[in-house]
């Protein structure tokens, strides 16, 4: 299933991407000419449009897709990074999952042996996995999209590797996400749900790989649900009245755009009530979990420079602006 889908993606978007089928990675066909540092990301398939949909000028230089819900091999990451390196280093954007960290780490060591400087930005924005009992820390979810966009625009101006790595780490610190679902995704091979959930129940803090949530509860009305999610996000980010934010209202694969705009309305109303400035908001499917019936909210505290990078042009298969 995954190889066929990747071949199809390459055919559909041949004007924007190049597929190295042997090495197992994609690169941008028309990278930005002013960029000195290459940006590489990747992860398991099944979360589309992440990351392939954000490959191109203004965002990513190369993407390494893994098998379904599985990390890419370190060889893919190494080959992709070497292929797009421009001599000023390679920046890896890595979601905080054990397999991703290990394989991107091995690739970085191999790149260093070849004289290619490499830095990492670890994306760990998921509030539901923010627990002292967690051995690995917060998972990486919706913030990946916002970080890829802002760093991509900054890289297009010619910033260096250390500047971009520091900026990326600071950006991640300004992002938090939270996801809920009323039904799990179905495994394509079997059609079975990743977990069972009773009618009328809700998973609060579900993961994009089907990880069970922090808790299961009765599904509240939409306004109450979004208010509670927003309150948790704001408690973690601690913005002051008058501060600006960028928001991502993200479908997990089984929610209609009509429903997501209803979520966006409740989110915007709540942010107004808290005295925050909603500078930009994206609504749609960006980081999915196959066909999971749920959505996530991501908030990023934003200064004027962040908004400027966010608004910069990007030419990728899935960036909507």
Q: Is 47 marked active-site?
A: yes
At 200, phi and psi to the nearest 5? 90, -5
At 34, phi and psi to the nearest 5? -85, -5
**CA–CA dist 318, 58 (Å, integer):** 12
Given the residues 13, 19, 185, 209, select the one marked as catalytic: 209
Q: Is 13 marked active-site?
A: no
DSSP H/E element including 250 = strand 244-251
Q: Decide if 42 contacts 20 (C-beta within 8 A).
A: no
Q: Decide if 123 contacts 201 (C-beta within 8 A).
A: no
Given the residues 13, 47, 73, 185, select the one marked as catalytic: 47
Which residues on neighbouring strands pair with residue 79, listed in sequence order?
none
Residues 6+ apart with CB under 8 A from 22: none
Instruction: Estimate the crossing angle of helix 257-273 against helix 222-237, to 10 degrees.
Output: 50
How far from 264 is each of 139, 227, 235, CA to CA, in Å? 23, 11, 19
Tokens of 318: 């899935």
**CA–CA dist 228, 5 (Å, integer):** 37
Question: Which residues are tagged catalytic?
Answer: 47, 209
């Amino acid at each position: 299933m995954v190889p066929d889908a990747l071949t199809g993606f390459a055919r559909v978007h041949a004007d924007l991407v190049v597929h190295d089928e042997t090495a197992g990675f994609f690169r941008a066909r028309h990278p930005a000419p002013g960029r000195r540092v290459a940006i590489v990301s990747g992860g398991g398939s099944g979360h589309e449009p992440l990351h392939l949909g954000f490959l191109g000028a203004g965002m990513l230089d190369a993407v390494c897709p893994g098998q379904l819900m599985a990390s890419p091999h370190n060889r893919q990451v190494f080959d992709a990074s070497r292929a797009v390196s421009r001599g000023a280093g390679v920046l890896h954007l890595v979601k905080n999952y054990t397999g991703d960290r290990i394989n991107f780490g091995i690739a970085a060591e191999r790149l260093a042996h070849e004289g290619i400087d490499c830095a990492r930005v670890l994306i760990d924005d998921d509030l539901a996995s923010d627990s002292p009992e967690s051995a690995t820390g917060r998972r990486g979810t919706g913030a990946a999209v916002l970080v890829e966009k802002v760093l991509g625009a900054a890289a297009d101006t010619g910033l260096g590797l250390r500047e971009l790595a520091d900026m990326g780490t600071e950006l991640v610190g300004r992002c938090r996400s939270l996801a809920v679902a009323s039904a799990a995704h179905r495994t394509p091979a079997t059609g079975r749900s990743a977990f069972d959930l009773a009618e009328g129940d809700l998973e609060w803090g579900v993961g994009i790989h089907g990880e069970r949530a922090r808790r299961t509860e009765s599904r509240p009305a939409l306004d109450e649900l979004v208010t509670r999610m927003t309150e948790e996000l704001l408690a973690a980010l601690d913005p002051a009245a008058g501060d600006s934010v960028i928001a991502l209202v993200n479908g997990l694969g089984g929610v209609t755009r009509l429903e997501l705009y209803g979520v966006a309305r409740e989110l915007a109303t709540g942010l107004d009530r808290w005295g925050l400035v909603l500078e930009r908001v994206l609504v749609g499917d960006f980081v999915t979990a196959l066909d999971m019936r749920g959505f996530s909210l991501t908030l990023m505290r934003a200064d004027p420079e962040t908004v400027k990078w966010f608004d910069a042009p990007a030419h990728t298969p899935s960036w909507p602006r």
